[in-house]
Structure 1
Amino acid sequence: MDNTRLRYLLSQYANKMLTAPEQSELSDFLNAADNQTQLELLIEEAWIQSGEEADPTFPLPELKPEPVVMKPVYRQRWAAAVLLLIVAGGAWLLATRERKTSKVAGPVTENKKEDVAPGGNKAMLTLADGNTIALDSNLNGALTPQGNASLHASPGLLKYDPGHPSVNSGVAYNVLRTPKGGQYRLELPDGSRVWLNAASSLKFPTAFVGKERRVELNGEAYFEVAKNAGQPFFVSVNKANIAVLGTSFNVMAYADEAGIRTTLLEGAVKVTGGTASSLLKPGEQSLLEPDGKIQVIEKADIDLAVAWKNGLTSFKSADIKTIMRQVERWYDVEVVYNGTIPARSFTGDIPRDANLSELLRLLEISKIHFKMENHRLIVMP
């Protein structure tokens, strides 16, 4: 079978549109070991081509194959179309191998007990007096008041009602921390909303008094800031300062990333680091590098920046180590590397509520393999 016919059948398979004769044709072809080798070579070729631009008229049908649950990112790029081929071919390849051998290389199929569940809504709240409260999806109801502010917890959300604060009453600070494998939402006393990603923390006052509103972030968070021109909003993160009037933006400032990325969805923010500063417009992203320089990406990938907040683990032209940093934070596993890992770039997204095995299966198709040992994810060539 030539590659053009094979691509067509895989596309039909991915979209569950195979006719009975086509199903039989594809099954007969791929059940032969030599033909599975051809499929692997086709997938390898697709990975190599994944960075090339596409004809904007190329159709991008919705993809929900089994057993791989990855679907393409819907952008006008060849990478999305190539991912259709990769996932469809990989799904068929893995399925036929499982039927034949009942054992597929990978951390989950070798031992189902080794699979890792995704993270969820959990955090720790540190009060002004040093006491802590564990927050999770089951907590619901009023919590201990903080100063004049009353607190209310509902599944995955902590809300502050400021009451009637005054400057004379003093300012108390709380800290919300998410562990690896955790996320949480927070409504600040001024009505601003914050989505806190895994392995992150936010320090904030229980009431905003004075001339400004200021919070301190470590890790990653998405902000929807309540407008108040008379009391500007500031986010302090590492050595950077982000000034806000009223806007929606994402800040990623993990210590193990290359710099601090601020992505603006609407409104305006000013990013300052050292002596450098940049005023962002909607759709732009700044990268504050460790040396204090600021790069501005004018046409930023907004969907990619906020994918985590929208329930997706997402990556675009990312190498394996970039993806594994997300895996460590969301699945709370330690990642170690064994041997020389092939250079590959990956584009795709998968629901954050998917088990780790569902993400790893697709990556294994590109000749990168994984093994779980005592909650350590070992990456191998």
Structure 2
Amino acid sequence: MLMDNNRLKYLLSRYASHTATATELEELKTFLKTEDQDVRLEWMIEEAWMQSAEAEENVFDTQSDAILARILPERAERRPVAKTFYFKSWAAAVLLLIAVGAALLWKKRSYHPPITTRHNIIQPGTDKAILTLANGASIELDSSMNGQIAQQGPVSLQTNAGQLIYKPQNTSASTTISWNTLSTPKGGQYSLVLPDGSRVWLNAASSLRYPTAFTGPKRTVTLTGEAYFEVQPNSAQPFFVTAGNTEVAVLGTNFNIMAYNNEKSISTTLLQGSVRVSQQAVNHILKPGQQSRSNENGTMEVIDNADTNLAIAWKNGFISFKSADIRTIMRQIERWYNIEVVFKGEIPTRTFTGDIPRSADLSALLRLLEISRIHFKLENEQLIVMQ
């Protein structure tokens, strides 16, 4: 079947926007059965990427990214194709990518119904946390709370749209140190302004223990899970973060620590400034762009030119993975979507690369992965991963 490129683009765009007539759908189906369709579709993908790379406008479309993720794993073995799903684009290029991806799926895969229905959507996490005060009392926090929620000595505790703020009201008064703990559940995140003005973003299933006032020669907090820090400089009172068997010493800097118990190592990624990471007798001073990985056996490795954007993608609103295996990705899913993941059968060892907004529901992320012949089903509030 002969079809010029403009006609093919038109049909693909009509299909992507759900406006194609029955005749147009039949025409597109007939073309996709021909021998030259693969070459033509790959050429369109290449053209759309070139157009998007030249554009100045930033456009992020969840649907186009999910479709691209489906295209790329299938075609990676045949030719090198860019493997990033977050891209500069303009509307026509995005629409074309959606359409081409849909066309490839139409030909190469039989239809699988989504694992969720309209009435059973697994929603992403939200801004929520539990604040535990020094006296053991707990306060549930969410994004709707604003204003003062507690008083700890001369320090006022206030919330503002998903952020907890400690505001010392009389810095000259003698202060009895009280320790508070801010904890996020699975499916939650929250940010915090400490009494010294340092800012902390807590990822899901994490906690930070800290004093209501920093006195003495150093500032010390204890982390479980993951957090991003922007520490206020104070050379007379260095800042220390303890996470598992690792300690990070800070003067003033921006960095991320991932210290989940079910991860292989504790990772510290430095964006600005300088930190010293210590584990038992081993310590390294990190430079911006470096990442340390503290292992359970007491060893530590330092990665130069680490992907800092990947390390703080969660803080910037994305679920991101780069050359990650399915088990690593599923650990992120468990924490953010508050769902138990169970593996059934032999799970492939191949890796995945991609981004999706943390605001997307779970089915959008799973559709991104299903193209690589990994399937899922929901059963008794568990997400079952199958070959």
TM bracket (short chain): 0.7 to 0.9
Amino acid of the structure 1 residue aligned with 2:304: E
What do residues 279-334 of structure 1 show as CA deviations (whole Å, max 9, x unaligned)?
00001111111111111111000110000000111111111111111000000000
1:245 counterpart residue number? 251
1:148-159, aligned counterparts within 5 Å? 148-159=154-165
Please say if residues 141 and 152 of structure 1, whose CA atoms lie closer than 8 Å, have aligned partners that are also in contact.
yes
Please say if residues 65 and 88 of structure 1, whose CA atoms lie closer than 8 Å, have aligned partners that are also in contact.
no
Match of 2:217 among 207, 211, 220: 211
Q: Which moved more, 1:258-267 or 1:80-89?
A: 80-89
1:282 counterpart residue number? 288
Q: Is the counterpart of residue 106 in structure 1 residue 96 in structure 2? A: no
Amino acid of the structure 2 residue aligned with 1:279: I
State the Cα distance separating 1:82 from its structure 2 match.
Answer: 12
* Whole-angstrom CA distance in 1 between matches of 2:231 and 2:60: 36
Match of 1:354 among 357, 360, 374: 360
Match of 1:140 among 133, 136, 146: 146
1:63-212, aligned counterparts within 5 Å? 67=63, 69-70=65-66, 78-80=82-84, 89-93=100-104, 104-108=112-116, 111-165=117-171, 169-212=175-218
Does the residue aligned with 2:263 lie in a helix, a strand or coil? Answer: coil
State the Cα distance separating 1:192 from its structure 2 match.
Answer: 0.1
State the Cα distance separating 1:362 from its structure 2 match.
Answer: 1.3
2:72 counterpart residue number? none
2:76 counterpart residue number? none
1:329 counterpart residue number? 335
Please say if residues 167 and 210 of structure 1, whose CA atoms lie closer than 8 Å, have aligned partners that are also in contact.
no
Does the residue aligned with 1:261 lie in a helix, a strand or coil? Answer: strand
1:63–1:319 distance in 2 versus 1, CA, 3 Å: farther
* Whole-angstrom CA distance in 2 between matches of 1:360 and 1:29: 27
1:207-356, aligned counterparts within 5 Å? 207-356=213-362
1:96–1:89 distance in 2 versus 1, CA, 3 Å: same
1:26–1:306 distance in 2 versus 1, CA, 3 Å: farther
Overall identity of the aligned pairs, in %: 49
State the Cα distance separating 1:345 from its structure 2 match.
Answer: 1.5
* Whole-angstrom CA distance in 1 between matches of 2:67 and 2:247: 37
RMSD of aligned residue pairs (Cα, Å): 3.8
State the Cα distance separating 1:96 from its structure 2 match.
Answer: 8.5
1:184–1:277 distance in 2 versus 1, CA, 3 Å: same
* Whole-angstrom CA distance in 1 between matches of 2:82 and 2:63: 23
What do residues 98-128 of structure 1 show as CA deviations (whole Å, max 9, x unaligned)?
9xx9x634312xx333320100000000000
What do residues 350-371 of structure 1 show as CA deviations (whole Å, max 9, x unaligned)?
1111101111111111111111
Does the residue aligned with 1:185 lie in a helix, a strand or coil? Answer: strand
State the Cα distance separating 1:202 from its structure 2 match.
Answer: 0.1
What do residues 129-182 of structure 1 show as CA deviations (whole Å, max 9, x unaligned)?
000000001111112201221111111000001233569532100000000000
* Whole-angstrom CA distance in 2 between matches of 1:189 and 1:71: 45
State the Cα distance separating 1:341 from its structure 2 match.
Answer: 2.3
Amino acid of the structure 1 residue aligned with 2:290: E
Please say if residues 248 and 275 of structure 2, whose CA atoms lie closer than 8 Å, have aligned partners that are also in contact.
yes
Q: Which moved more, 1:220-229 or 1:367-376?
A: 367-376
Does the residue aligned with 1:317 lie in a helix, a strand or coil? Answer: strand
What do residues 2-22 of structure 1 show as CA deviations (whole Å, max 9, x unaligned)?
9xx8xx969x969x89xx9xx
**Any unmatched runs of 5+ in structure 1?**
47-56
1:123–1:92 distance in 2 versus 1, CA, 3 Å: farther
* Whole-angstrom CA distance in 2 between matches of 1:59 and 1:269: 41
Q: Which moved more, 1:163-172 or 1:240-249?
A: 163-172
1:52 counterpart residue number? none
State the Cα distance separating 1:263 from its structure 2 match.
Answer: 0.4
Please say if residues 31 and 96 of structure 1, whose CA atoms lie closer than 8 Å, have aligned partners that are also in contact.
no
1:54 counterpart residue number? none
2:372 counterpart residue number? 366
Does the residue aligned with 1:341 lie in a helix, a strand or coil? Answer: coil
Does the residue aligned with 2:112 lie in a helix, a strand or coil? Answer: coil
Please say if residues 66 and 91 of structure 1, whose CA atoms lie closer than 8 Å, have aligned partners that are also in contact.
no
**Any unmatched runs of 5+ in structure 2?**
70-79, 88-93
Please say if residues 342 and 367 of structure 1, whose CA atoms lie closer than 8 Å, have aligned partners that are also in contact.
no
* Whole-angstrom CA distance in 2 between matches of 1:116 and 1:275: 45
Does the residue aligned with 1:78 lie in a helix, a strand or coil? Answer: coil
- Report the count of equivalent residues: 350
